[in-house]
Amino acid sequence: MPQLDADRLQGTPGNPTLLYFLVIFLFCLFGLRLWYLQVYKGKYFDRKSRDNRIRRYSIYAPRGLLRDTHGKLLAENQPSYALSIVREDCPDIGGTLEQVARWTGIPQEQIRTEYERGKKRVRSFDNQILVPHITFEQVAVIESHAIEWPGLRILVRPKRHYAKGPLMTHVLGYVAQADEEELNGDPTLALGDNIGKLGLESVLENVLRGVKGRREAEVDASGRIMREKVVSPPTAGQDVGLSIDLGLQEVATRALAPQAGAVVVLDPDTGKVLALVSEPSYDNNPFVDGIGVEQWRALLGNTRHPLQNRSIQSTYPPGSVFKLVMAPCGLYNHAVTPEKTVYCPGSYRLGNRVFRCWKRRGHGRVDLQRALVESCDVYFYKLGEELGIGAISRFAKSCGFGRPTGIALPHEKSGLIPDSSWKWKRYGRPWQKGETLNVSIGQGSVLVTPLQVAVYISALVNGGRIIQPSLLKQNPVISNGFLPFGDKIRERILDAMVATVKDPHGTARRLRMEGCRIGGKTGTAQVVNLQEKYEKKETHEIPYRMRDHAWMVSFGMKGDKKYVVVAMVEHGGHGGSDAGPVVRAVYEYLFAGKDLCSTDA
Interface with another protein, residue 91, by CB under 8 A: no
With vertex at residue 32, the alpha carbon angle to CA 31 and CA 35, rounded to the nearest 5 degrees, is 85
Residue 338 CA from chain centroid, whole number: 43
Interface with another protein, residue 34, by CB under 8 A: yes
Q: In the complex with another protein, which residue's Cβ is closer, 20 or 544?
A: 20
* Shortest reach from residue 94's CB to another protein, in Å: 18
Which residues, at least 6 apart from 280, have a Cβ–Cβ distance to it below 8 Å? 257, 258, 260, 302, 304, 305, 306
Q: In the complex with another protein, which residue's Cβ is closer, 226 or 601?
A: 226
* Shortest reach from residue 232's CB to another protein, in Å: 22
Interface with another protein, residue 53, by CB under 8 A: yes
Contact range with another protein by CB under 8 A, out of 36-44, 313-321, 410-418, 503-511: 36-44
* Shortest reach from residue 149's CB to another protein, in Å: 19
Q: Around Cβ 307, how many Cβ atoms within 10 Å?
A: 17
Contact range with another protein by CB under 8 A, out of 5-13, 176-184, 271-279, 293-301: 5-13
* Shortest reach from residue 126's CB to another protein, in Å: 18
Interface with another protein, residue 224, by CB under 8 A: yes
* Shortest reach from residue 19's CB to another protein, in Å: 4
User: Quick one: 205 exposed, middle or buried, by C-beta within 10 A (0-12, 13-18, 19+)?
Assistant: middle
**Residue of 391, 399, 427 lying closest to 415 (CA atoms):** 399
**Residue of 179, 354, 189, 171 lying closest to 273 (CA atoms):** 171
**Residue of 441, 200, 445 lying closest to 315 (CA atoms):** 445
Among 222, 303, 474, 598, binds another protein (CB under 8 A): 222
375 has catalytic annotation: no
Interface with another protein, residue 38, by CB under 8 A: yes
**Residue of 310, 263, 248, 250 lying closest to 578 (CA atoms):** 263
Among 31, 95, 233, 292, binds another protein (CB under 8 A): 31
Interface with another protein, residue 147, by CB under 8 A: no
- Binding mask of the shown chain, residues 7 to 26, with x at each position contacting another protein by CB under 8 A: xx-xxxxxxx-xxx-xx--x
Q: Which of residues 477-496 bind another protein (CB under 8 A)?
A: none
Among 216, 218, 239, 595, binds another protein (CB under 8 A): 218
Written as one letter, the residue type at 549 is: H
Q: In the complex with another protein, which residue's Cβ is closer, 10 or 352?
A: 10
Q: In the complex with another protein, which residue's Cβ is closer, 28 or 354?
A: 28
Q: What are the angstrom distances between the C-alpha of 527 and each of 279, 295, 404, 530, 576?
A: 19, 31, 23, 9, 17
End-to-end CA distance of the chain: 132
Contact range with another protein by CB under 8 A, out of 216-224, 258-266, 285-293, 377-385: 216-224
* Shortest reach from residue 44's CB to another protein, in Å: 7
Q: Where is 269: in which H helix or E strand?
A: none
d(Cα 550, Cα 532) in Å, to the nearest integer?
18
Q: Where is 217: in which H helix or E strand?
A: strand 213-219
The torsion angle over the Cα atoms of residues 271, 309, 396 and 581, rounded to 10 degrees, is -80
* Shortest reach from residue 148's CB to another protein, in Å: 21
Q: What are the angstrom distances between the C-alpha of 577 and each of 181, 415, 523, 552?
A: 49, 26, 11, 9
* Shortest reach from residue 56's CB to another protein, in Å: 16
Interface with another protein, residue 231, by CB under 8 A: no
Among 94, 213, 221, 562, binds another protein (CB under 8 A): 221
Interface with another protein, residue 229, by CB under 8 A: no
Q: In the complex with another protein, which residue's Cβ is closer, 17 or 144?
A: 17
Q: In the complex with another protein, which residue's Cβ is closer, 11 or 79?
A: 11
* Shortest reach from residue 99's CB to another protein, in Å: 23
Interface with another protein, residue 220, by CB under 8 A: yes
Q: In the complex with another protein, which residue's Cβ is closer, 19 or 298?
A: 19
Interface with another protein, residue 49, by CB under 8 A: yes
**Secondary structure string (H, E, C) spanning 12-63:** CCCCHHHHHHHHHHHHHHHHHHHHHHHHHCHHHHHHHHHHHHEEEEEECCCC
Helices (H), 357-486: 368-373, 377-398, 420-427, 433-440, 450-461
Asked whether 265 and 252 are in contact (CB, 8 A), the reply is yes
What phi and psi, each to the nearest 5 degrees, are found at residue 373?
-60, -45
Interface with another protein, residue 601, by CB under 8 A: no
The sign one gets for the Cα dihedral 175, 176, 180, 183 is: positive
Residues in contact with another protein, counted by CB under 8 A, come to a total of 48
Q: Where along the sequence are the contacts to another protein (CB under 8 A)?
A: 1, 4-5, 7-8, 10-16, 18-20, 22-23, 26-27, 29-31, 33-35, 37-39, 41-46, 48-50, 52-53, 218-222, 224-227
Question: What residues are annotated to the active site?
Answer: 320
